[in-house]
Chain A
Amino acid sequence: KAGVTQTPRYLIKTRGQQVTLSCSPISGHRSVSWYQQTPGQGLQFLFEYFSETQRNKGNFPGRFSGRQFSNSRSEMNVSTLELGDSALYLCASSLGSAGGSTDTQYFGPGTRLTVL
């Protein structure tokens, strides 16, 4: 079974631009979660999608948004980029049936975003 894939792997943008990141989950997984990882804040939860609906949301501004398609692939969008958005963005997929707490999460390799 193929693992979780994320594209692109590396991205450089300038302040004020917007960016879209993509995540393809493991086949059969219906839940996709997104996380931001920075040296200062560590791992932080962004949001989770299950069956095309946002099921959970972390404490991030509205500039961060996402969606999930019928094939469970997910995209994350960040508008009006700020320098502080430079981070490793990770997605993880899981079956999703247990509501998240007891699901094993399978992480993708991440997209490293640099905002100049």
Chain B
Amino acid sequence: DGGITQSPKYLFRKEGQNVTLSCEQNLNHDAMYWYRQDPGQGLRLIYYSQIVNDFQKGDIAEGYSVSREKKESFPLTVTSAQKNPTAFYLCASSSSRVLGQTKNYGYTFGSGTRLTVV
């Protein structure tokens, strides 16, 4: 079955350490996104990518970095510059092109990674 796989499910980061969150999809979706969710809040966009080798900053990109070397993969690195990284991180993908026409389709989300600073 197609879907999005995020790993690990739980991640603990020490102060000053960089960590990378994995996101892989086999849905053949063009677009991929990273969102951060804090308790009781909505989802805030960190980075998004509409095509391989291209990505754009979202609303809260500071302290994060991404790469999109393959269509299936969109890893997120939380750097030491991110001062408050403890949160639930969600990766999503969507199919934005159908027969050459741009469409809007619903997101498919991964199961998330819960990152805690220790």
A binds B: no
Q: A interface vs B, CB < 8 Å?
A: none
Q: B interface vs A, CB < 8 Å?
A: none
